[in-house]
Amino acid sequence: MSVKPAREKAAIIGGGVIGGGWAARFLLNGWDVAVYDPDPEAERKIGEVLDNARRALPALYDKPLPPEGALTFHDDLATALDGATWVQESVPERLDLKHRIHADLTALAPAGAVIGSSTSGFKPSELNANGARAIVAHPFNPVYLLPLIELVGDADDCVRAAEILRSVGLYPLKVRKEIDAHIADRFLEAVWREALWLVKDGIASTEEIDEAIRMGFGLRWAQMGLFETYRIAGGEAGMKHFMAQFGPALEWPWTKLMDVPEFTDELVDLIAGQSDAQSGHMSIRQLERLRDDNLVGMMRSLKQSGSGAGGVICAHEARLEVPQTGDLPVTLDIQVPQTWTDYNGHMNETHYLEAGAKASDRFMEMIGADADYIAGGLSYFTAESHVRYLDETHQGARLQVQTQVLAGQGKKLHLFHMLRSGDRLVATVETLLLHVDLETRRSCPPAEAVEAQLLAFASAHAELPTPEGVGRAVGQQP
């Protein structure tokens, strides 16, 4: 009798916005999570973060995340730390408070546990001045969606931390040297300072500054960053031409980067008032969900090219498994993302076909017609599809596809995809594919190994009843 291995455990110290995001990231990747936070509202606050995370994170993937771990709350630090592989401190940015917390973490945490700090500004040498053993593991909000984690500290600890972070879909970036505010927050601080001056001097409002970012360079940065964006700006001559052309502008008085406006009550009231006028019609929860829906849409798009955060999702998705149940293979198991829904509040007709196409792609992989096979010059092309829309499904619902082979011999592959949401059959997609030589773009027999695996599926499925709806024509009565 095999014994199921115990799940990994993460201890989250501090359950605010960042701590809650860490809890959600680990929990939704199958880890048990213990939260230590004296705030009596911690359970409610983390529960609300989890609601958003459950709605958003699985929608990035075309495979299911592992079964959710167990979440517990503790008022005893030693109990929370017991058995933890990862310990994440996310208390307020006060060095005296962090020193007290990290002294306790060093004394009580398991010897092999990674102890990370979410600090956005302090260096490991400052955190560990009193003998602690923390590394900086600085995330970005929302931690359950944005992959970047800046790692600073002991080299061996950072190597172990990086592997754990990759296993839960994060992107560890090792910072080469200690520096205040690490890497990304230094950029944010520069932009923030300049934005404060633009508002103070009456040049732009908070809304106009946000529009300048999100309508322009923010979109470029999301998929190419800074230097790759400017390389393109240099044209065929590349980065050297860009530097020669725009380098002299660095001496012009374009920025007040090294100067900071005085934080007066008037400036605070001016910015707060403009921000209320800009976004005050929405609650923070509504803004978070709007942010998450937009991030999911952009990051799913980036998956297609593997650029930026999309590449991190692809790498994490490759580590995930699709559980198999029943007589038919499960070829897709996905949480319906917001981008698949329409003005009627349910999944749009286009995406039922997309789900069928993804199921066909997965079945091709199962018989060996995978990326390497296609790179070798052979593939299957869809010749015809017929979709039946049988019931509604909505954002956040689990959509599972099982595929039956109706025929699989020679050049033809005839599949019948059954799309279920829970116990309901919501659609079927009947698809005829032809095997094609990618050089001649004409049909041809598949490779022997692929045909053998296809025939094995076809033979097994021939013993099953023919599904209702096979061969239906448009408008045909049941």
Q: Which residues are annotated as a binding site for NAD(+)?
A: 14-19
Dist CA 357 CA 427 (whole Å): 13
Cis peptide bond upstream of 142, omega within 30: yes
287 DSSP assignment: H
Q: What are all long-range contacts of 109-114, with beta carbons under 8 Å and residues at least 24 apart?
A: 109/11, 109/81, 109/84, 110/81, 110/82, 110/83, 110/84, 110/85, 112/85, 113/11, 113/81, 113/84, 113/85, 113/86, 113/87, 114/85, 114/86, 114/87, 114/157, 114/160, 114/161, 114/164
Dist CA 218 CA 237 (whole Å): 24
Q: What is the largest CA-CA distance in the chain?
A: 78
- Nearest Cα residue to 132 out of 142, 121, 124: 124
Inter-residue contact 125 to 153 (CB < 8 Å) = no
Binding site listing: 14-19
66: phi then psi, degrees, rounded to nearest 5: -60, 160
- Nearest Cα residue to 341 out of 421, 227, 424: 421
Inter-residue contact 431 to 385 (CB < 8 Å) = yes
How crowded is residue 452: how many other Cβ atoms within 10 Å of its Cβ?
12
List the alpha helices (DSSP H) in 109-226: 124-127, 155-167, 184-200, 206-212, 218-224
| Cβ-based burial of 267 (10 A; exposed 0-12, middle 13-18, buried ≥19) | middle
Dist CA 448 CA 443 (whole Å): 15
Dist CA 330 CA 400 (whole Å): 7
Inter-residue contact 137 to 149 (CB < 8 Å) = yes
460's enclosing H/E stretch is: helix 448-461
**Pair of tokens at residue 198:** 């633009």
- Nearest Cα residue to 87 out of 45, 126, 43, 34: 34
**Pair of tokens at residue 257:** 């980067």
